[in-house]
Amino acid sequence: MHERKSSSSLFLMELIIVLFFFLLTAAICIQVFARAHSISRSSLELSHAQSLCASAAEVFSGTDGSAEAFLEKFPEGITAEQGVELFYDENFQSSGENEAKYRLTVKTSSSGTDSRSAVIRFLSGDAEIYSLTVCRHIPLTAEKEGNS
């Protein structure tokens, strides 16, 4: 009878070790899945930020780069200091400033009479996700050359 008691305690010890191993493995898997979800969300944010900034850069390059030209293409935007701001919710859909999780800012500047530049930033709160600088050369026209 004494042998039976020692074999059952050995069995319990083995069972505890196996359960500990499975718990440790489960904890590691949960951390890996959580990290993968976080990386996936960051990748999605970066992809949308790049796409939206590229759209704003195309508007800047294809127009005179004024706030009015941006608001014509992005009517949901608002004018801000030296440019335009657009707001997006967690699904990257246009939203109002109060519901926004993300913000796209376009700040323009002129350097001389023949070039303009814009800094386009996509932000989550105050953290910058993506930034793009665009320069646009404005060629002299015959009218401008005649006045010179």
CA distances to 19, 44, 136, 137 from 112, in Å? 72, 38, 12, 10
| pTM of structure | 0.74
3-state helix, strand, coil in the chain (%, to 5): 50, 25, 25
Q: What is the pLDDT of residues 81-106, one digit of tens each?
A: 778 999 999 999 999 888 999 999 99
Over 80: is that where the pLDDT of 11 sits?
yes
User: Residue 143: what pLDDT?
Assistant: 55
Over 60: is that where the pLDDT of 43 sits?
yes
Phi first, then psi, for residue 104 (nearest 5°) are -110, 125
